[in-house]
Amino acid sequence: MSNDLGQALERIYGAGATDQLARYQAAMAQFQATYGAHGPLYIFRAPGRVNLIGEHTDYNHGFVMPAALDKDILLLARPRSDGAVNLANVESQFEPFSFTVATEIPIGAPGHWGNYVRGAAQVFTQASGRPSGGWDGLVAGAAPFGVPVGAGLSSSSALTVAAMVTLNTLAGVQLPNADLVQLCSDAEWYVGTRGGIMDQFVALLAQRDHALFLDCRPDAAGHFQTEAIPLPTTHRLLIVNSGVHHANTRNEFNLRVAAGRAGVALLRQTYPHITHLRDVQTEDWAVLEPLLPESTSVAELNAQGLALNDIPGAPADAALRVRACCRHVWSENRRVLGAVNAMRSGNVAQLGALMNLAHASARDDYAISCPEIEVLVGAAQQVDGVAGARLTGAGWGGCMIALVQTEAATDFETHVAQVYGQQMGRDAEFFACQTTPGAGLVLQL
Ligand code: GLA
């Protein structure tokens, strides 16, 4: 048994497999202590992700380039003969919960971790037409192996994806992973975030040692173009967690979504056939800019007969910074394409320069940075051997990603930790971006 597990872990984590073994064994022991030793046991995992470049472009049908991390969520499950799902968590702050699988599952208290699992179960049941039976489950995502919560590394998508692959396997439906992407994204809409498909896509379809270049515009058949791109070998991608998680970011996030949709509504007066900002990507910015006001609001748009679709948390009078937000999306898409070329040709300096520019655009145009991240990025960019650094993820705290020459990694950590401690009085957490494949069944016992 442990030989099978060892081989499975080797395939997923490579050199990191040895460190993972004890974690998996502890989770299995806790599962059996909670639900009994008899009966089958399935072990699923779903990774967090880091985004190299392409922030807030996915829901505008643009380009992104994330990678799946070795920081992940395990979901251990045993099928039940009834439709009940009982879920416990190795971390005691996440209280156990239960629900019954159905096509309509009432949502739990706002912010409850179980809502991602409920969302996955409702969406999967509606889509598959084959309700899975229930299961007893245990989630294991504790530090240091788990996806840090609120760090911009998509812990919520990892949980949603872990639940979805569990449902898909236990129901015996075996929808392809490409089909599960949209279901996972829909499940997060159930919870209330109007994000795109980047996190779910990479969590399901990543390859180890590669970033995933993804075009978030589906073709006529609903398929997405992707390319697995090898990571640089002379440099390391280092991730630095600021430890900051600002409150109320879902509303801020949704306001950015609204600003993009407002841009589309306004541009449609000139380009009637567009549906997303991506559709004006080939126009010059100088042509687009005069068509977009610096600021507007849902109320003003409504008065012009331009209705936005339902966006939770976007009050009718909130300012939508349409011009700057659209400029970020437009310019970020070009940077992602430039980054793909730089990676294909091994031009690390160019990749780093694009990361620096992406950070400036995220800060100035999309307004998603914060003082702590500014200190981290500023300190990183001062270090010799750092090709580039930027905030990663949705913003308002979370993590920075830096592209650092392998020999400069120690200087980088020393300098950034010192500056962050001096200026912010906080400790930053450093770890290397070790990539893994996408989610799935690790082992069945
Ligand atoms: C969150 C969302 C993603 C994406 C990023 C920003 O992670 O879930 O869909 O929009 O923010 O790039």
Ligand 1 atom with least separation from CA of 193? 8
pLDDT value at residue 192: 77
Residue 274: band (very low, low, confident or very high) from pLDDT cuts 50, 70, 90: very high
Determine the pLDDT at residue 392: 97
CB 297 within 8 A of CB 319: yes
Q: Is 393 in the pocket of ligand 1 (CB under 6 A)?
A: yes
**Paired tokens of 77:** 């499950």
Q: Whose CA is nearest to atom 10 of ligand 1?
A: 56
pLDDT of residue 314: 73
Confidence band for 2, pLDDT divided at 50, 70 and 90: low
CA dist., res. 325 & res. 331, Å (int)? 10
**Quick one: pLDDT at residue 315?**
83
Report the pLDDT averaged over residues 362-372: 97
Task: Supply the pLDDT for residue 27.
Answer: 98
Q: In Å, what is the CA distance from 230 to each residue of 207, 260, 290, 337, 342?
A: 9, 31, 40, 15, 11
pLDDT averaged over every residue in the chain: 94
**Shortest-distance atom of ligand 1 to CA 64:** 12
pLDDT at 249: 79
Q: Is 394 in the pocket of ligand 1 (CB under 6 A)?
A: yes
Top-confidence residue, 432 or 313: 432
The closest of 396, 397, 255 to 325, measured between CA atoms, is 255
pLDDT at 309 over 70: no
pLDDT for 430: 97
pLDDT tops 80 at residue 1: no
- pLDDT tens readout for residues 156-200: 999 999 999 999 999 988 899 999 999 999 999 888 776 789 999
Q: Whose C-alpha lies nearest to ligand 1, atom 4?
A: 56
CA separation for the pair 240, 376 (Å, rounded)? 8
For residue 67, name the pLDDT band (cuts at 50, 70, 90): very high
Name the strand (E) or helix (H) holding 442.
Answer: strand 440-444
Instruction: Report the nearest atom of ligand 1 relative to the CA of 56.
Output: 12
Angle ∠(412,417,423) on CA atoms, nearest 5: 125
Tell me: pLDDT of 307 over 90: no
| Site to substitute for ligand 1 among 56, 188, 204, most atoms within 8 A of C-beta | 56
Q: Considering only residues 352 and 312, tell me which one the structure prediction assigns the higher pLDDT.
A: 352
85 pLDDT higher than 90: yes
- C-beta of 214 in contact with ligand 1 (< 6 A): no
Please state the rounded mean pLDDT for residues 242-257.
86
* Ligand 1 atom with the shortest distance to the CA of 59: 10
Considering the candidates 199, 364, 365, 384, report the single residue annotated as catalytic: 199
pLDDT of residue 133: 87
294, 324 Cβ separation under 8 angstroms? yes
pLDDT, position 191? 87
Per-residue pLDDT band for 384 (boundaries 50, 70, 90) equals very high
Active-site residue flag, 219: no
pLDDT at position 246: 76
Give pairs for 207-210: CB < 8 Å, separation 24+: 207/435, 207/437, 207/438, 208/12, 208/14, 208/435, 208/436, 208/437, 209/435, 210/67, 210/435
Q: How far is the CA of 397 from the centre of ligand 1 (A)?
A: 14
Q: Regarding the domain delimited by 2-230+436-444, which CATH topology (the fold level of the hierarchy) does it fall under?
A: Ribosomal Protein S5; domain 2 (3.30.230)
Q: Which residue has the higher pLDDT, 303 or 69?
A: 69
The residue nearest atom 1 of ligand 1, judged by CA position, is 394
